[in-house]
Amino acid sequence: MPDNLNTPSEEDDKLGKEEKLLGALCYAPFGCFAPILMQKQSEFLSFHTKRGGTIFGIFFILNIVPLHGIFWLLFLVYLALAGYAGWKAFNGEMYSYGFIDALFEKFKK
């Protein structure tokens, strides 16, 4: 039996379960406000709060435009993007999509 089955990894030592769960929650609709309201601050949560808010903001803005029949397609795309990024955050990874990084670089001063 391998010795490393019950020992936590270095990544688990750095990030607590609460922080990982909050990172994943950032990708839920309006979930990016949870770490702010709980007054949790860390580089990990800041990273996921920005990306989760950006994904939801893009989805929200695109749904303001009255394009009939496209809501469900946008909703499925949002679920896929947010779900995958939320899963990565729950696993303790700092995953980001290229288009979000490009947006941050464009608006970065």
| pLDDT tens figures, 26-83 | 999 888 888 888 888 888 888 899 899 999 998 888 888 777 778 888 889 999 999 9
The verdict on residue 4 lying in a domain is no
Question: What is the model's pTM?
Answer: 0.74
Instruction: Find out whether 9 and 27 touch, Cβ atoms under 8 Å.
Output: no
Nearest in space to 44 (alpha carbons), one of 80, 83, 16: 16
| pLDDT tens figures, 93-109 | 988 888 888 888 888 75
Q: Which domain holds residue 33?
A: 11-107
User: Based on the structure, what is the number of domains in the chain?
Assistant: 1
- pLDDT of 91 higher than 90: yes
The verdict on residue 2 lying in a domain is no
Instruction: Find out whether 22 and 28 touch, Cβ atoms under 8 Å.
Output: no
Q: How far apart are CA 33 and CA 30, in angstroms?
A: 6
The verdict on residue 16 lying in a domain is yes
